[in-house]
Amino acid sequence: MDSRDYPARPLVGVGVVMLAPAGQGRPAAVLLVRRGKAPAAGQWSIPGGAQELGETAETAARRELLEETGLVSGPLQLAAHVDSITRDADGRVQYHYTILDFATAWQGGELVAGGDVTAAEFAPLDRLGPYALWSEAHRVIAAARRLLD
């Protein structure tokens, strides 16, 4: 198995941008999780994780969504890809993921943080500032919104 830190080659990751429409007094929102492990421990992001051997990207996305949030996805659409490369203080590549992000609409279910996340919530799309998301997360959320509108 490839090591996640200081890998020999890029690893495939998946993410799910789940959007909830405005309604019943709530604003349109996106599902976010707070990471519990490196490389982004403590940071808010799109739910997702590493693809496992023998697993399709879509199956991995559904598994990660269920593990991290307790939610099940309806149809998924490929929204974007992200190259996430983190270097250590010496400039060596410590983490390298090529992430395939899928878009889906929330259809219901009880949100519960699980797996390797410490929190999960629907964040209002017009108030994402406090979540300090990576610029690529904003780009992927925008791509998902275009796909699902």
User: Vertex 85, ends 82 and 88: CA angle to 5°?
Assistant: 160
Nearest to 99 by CA among 6, 1, 14: 14
Q: What is the pTM of this model?
A: 0.92
Per-residue model confidence as pLDDT tens digits over 72-114: 999 999 999 999 999 999 999 999 999 999 999 998 889 999 9
Q: Which is it for the CA torsion 63, 69, 70, 71, positive or negative?
A: negative
- What CATH fold (topology level) applies to the domain 11-148? Nucleoside Triphosphate Pyrophosphohydrolase (3.90.79)
- Strands 11-20 and 93-105, by their bridges, are parallel
What are the residue boundaries of the structural domains of the chain, listed by start?
11-148
Per-residue model confidence as pLDDT tens digits over 31-49: 999 999 988 899 999 999 9
